[in-house]
């Protein structure tokens, strides 16, 4: 169902009727539960499969509103799922929905979307919303922007804003096995947990708002470095004449073991399911790694921390992104970067 031409008031009216109607109540053993409403903003590589899991797992009578600046993606989602209303304006979501998830690329996208949802206020006195409005931002953005959006939400009494960035990539989003790192006050943990658990297998509450992002950025800073270190170590070993698989097997039972060595090994053929064995296609793009690394370094700098290794790592990832042949591939392609730009090692990037 497309609601682009339906005025928000009509949406409210139809939802009011739906919420008030006898069919909107489901009776449980101990209590009746009102129909719940969800909004999903940003249906990209992560958001689309997350929204799919959410829509599939919530009761069919619950309502779901979706929005993306790319209308084609919304139409596709609505054609594949029942009980979805497409809106062209995020305000229509904010006016009608209790729980709103955002999965957007960069800080400025999150700021723009929240500016539209909060100014002028969208929490209407006659809205069909039955419990406090909760905004869950799953985007990986900088800590300061997230805190500013939370402050704008809280100071105007328009609901609660928490951060819940995720780890697990597109495969985890599709399989519903993401790990969420949540920054939220204790009283919202159970409510958010119940929703995020529909899209992931682990929800880790790290503390107050922004804590989820701080945890995510610390983790991805470490990942940025362990990936480069693994690429260097594997390149050394292979160049010294060691068998790549034997070397990786040894490292993975020794102290050098890490996610890039064990799961995402950068040498083609060592781990058949790793992007390296598929021409470095899919996986976690260097561009996203670079973005997260910069966000972590920015947050560190704001606390007077100099991220020594990150400075060099940033240059390496930037150089990979500047290389026309390596650009756009999984970040383990750094192995090829260390292999030398003018050698035959660069050939066969497409899985040969
Ligand atoms: P993406 O670029 O594939 O999707 C983002 C979506 O947001 C797009 O469909 C885009 O059209 C939409 N969008 C942009 N501006 C919008 C606006 N103003 N209103 C509504 N929709 C808008 O990005 P992604 O890979 O899905 O990543 C989303 C977030 O998740 C990012 O912050 C990213 O860092 C994080 N993340 C990504 C991965 C991954 O593997 N892709 C893993 C973990 C976390």
- In whole angstroms, give the CA distance from residue 229 to residue 15: 54
Residue 8 confidence (pLDDT): 38
- In whole angstroms, give the CA distance from residue 210 to residue 216: 10
Q: Which atom of ligand 1 is nearest to the CA of 48?
A: 26
Residue 216 confidence (pLDDT): 98
This prediction's pTM? 0.86
45 closest CA partner among 191, 166, 210, 179: 166
Minimum CA distance residue for ligand 1 atom 4: 44
Whether residue 282 has its Cβ less than 6 Å from ligand 1: no
Residue 349 confidence (pLDDT): 57
Q: For the chain, which domains are there?
A: 8-19+26-208 (3.40.50.720), 214-337 (1.10.1040.10)
Minimum CA distance residue for ligand 1 atom 18: 109
- In whole angstroms, give the CA distance from residue 194 to residue 53: 13
Torsion of CA 281, 51, 110, 206, to 10 degrees: -90
Whether residue 298 has its Cβ less than 6 Å from ligand 1: no
To test the pocket of ligand 1, the residue of 103, 145, 173 to mutate (highest count of ligand atoms within 8 Å of its CB) is 103
Q: Which atom of ligand 1 is nearest to the CA of 292?
A: 34
Q: Is 249 exposed, middle or buried (0-12, 13-18, 19+ CB in 10 A)?
A: middle
Helix (H) or strand (E) holding 103: none
Whether residue 332 has its Cβ less than 6 Å from ligand 1: no
Sequence-distant (≥ 6) Cβ neighbours of residue 186 within 8 angstroms: none
Strand partners, 183: 163, 207
183 CA → ligand 1 middle, Å? 19
Residue 40 confidence (pLDDT): 98
Residue 350 confidence (pLDDT): 52
Q: Which atom of ligand 1 is nearest to the CA of 113?
A: 18
Helix (H) or strand (E) holding 64: strand 63-67
Sequence-distant (≥ 6) Cβ neighbours of residue 348 within 8 angstroms: 268
Whether residue 288 has its Cβ less than 6 Å from ligand 1: yes
44 CA → ligand 1 middle, Å? 5
Residue 339 confidence (pLDDT): 86
Whether residue 93 has its Cβ less than 6 Å from ligand 1: no
Strand partners, 32: 27
336 CA → ligand 1 middle, Å? 27
Whether residue 206 has its Cβ less than 6 Å from ligand 1: no
212 CA → ligand 1 middle, Å? 17
Angle at 155 between CA 154 and CA 160, to 5 degrees: 5
Q: Which residue has the tokens 């793009």?
A: 285
* Tokens (6 digits) for 202: 């682990």
DSSP 286-341: HHHHHHHHHHHHHHHHHTT---HHHHHHHHHHHHHHHSTTTTTSBGGGHHHHHT-T
Give the residue numbers annotated as catalytic, written as ranges.
216
Whether residue 279 has its Cβ less than 6 Å from ligand 1: no
10-residue stretch averages of pLDDT, the chain, 352 residues long: 40 34 32 77 96 97 97 97 96 95 96 96 75 94 96 95 94 94 98 98 98 97 98 94 96 97 94 93 93 96 96 98 95 89 43 44
**C-beta separation of 184 from 342 below 8 A:** no
Burial 286-297 (b: 16+ CB within 10 A, else e): bebbbbbbbbbb
Q: How many CB atoms are closer than 10 A to CB 310?
A: 19
Residue 11 confidence (pLDDT): 34
């Amino acid at each position: 169902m497309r609601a682009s031409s339906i005025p928000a008031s009509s949406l409210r009216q139809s939802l009011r009727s739906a919420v008030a109607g006898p069919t909107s109540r489901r009776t449980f053993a101990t209590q009746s539960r009102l129909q719940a409403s969800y909004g999903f903003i940003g249906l990209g590589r992560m958001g689309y499969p997350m929204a799919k899991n959410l829509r599939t797992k919530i009761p069919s009578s619950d309502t779901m509103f979706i929005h993306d600046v790319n209308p084609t993606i919304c139409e596709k989602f609505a054609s594949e799922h029942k009980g979805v209303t497409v809106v062209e304006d995020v305000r229509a979501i904010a006016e009608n929905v209790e729980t709103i998830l955002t999965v957007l690329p960069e800080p400025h996208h999150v700021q723009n979307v929240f500016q539209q949802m909060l100014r002028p206020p969208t929490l209407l006195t006659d809205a069909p919303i039955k419990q406090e409005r909760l905004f869950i931002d799953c985007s990986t953005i900088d800590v300061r922007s997230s805190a500013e959006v939370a402050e704008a939400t809280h100071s105007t009494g328009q609901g609660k804003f928490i951060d819940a960035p995720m780890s697990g990539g597109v495969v985890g989003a599709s399989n519903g096995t993401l790990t969420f790192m949540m920054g939220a006050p204790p009283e919202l943990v159970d409510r958010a947990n119940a929703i995020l658990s529909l899209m992931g297998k682990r929800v880790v509450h790290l503390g107050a708002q922004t804590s989820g992002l701080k945890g995510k950025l610390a983790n991805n800073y470490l990942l940025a470095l362990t990936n480069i270190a693994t690429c260097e170590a594997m390149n050394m070993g292979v160049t010294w004449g060691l068998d790549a698989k034997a070397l990786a097997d040894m490292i993975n039972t020794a102290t050098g073991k890490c996610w890039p060595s064990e799961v995402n090994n950068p040498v083609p053929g060592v781990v058949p399911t790793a992007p390296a064995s598929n021409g470095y296609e899919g996986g976690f793009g260097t561009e996203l790694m670079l973005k997260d690394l910069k966000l972590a370094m920015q947050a560190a700098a704001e606390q007077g921390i100099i991220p020594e290794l990150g400075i060099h790592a940033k240059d390496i990832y930037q150089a990979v992104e500047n290389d026309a042949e390596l650009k756009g591939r999984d970040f383990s392609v750094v192995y090829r970067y260390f292999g030398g730009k003018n050698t035959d090692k660069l050939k066969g990037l497409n899985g040969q």
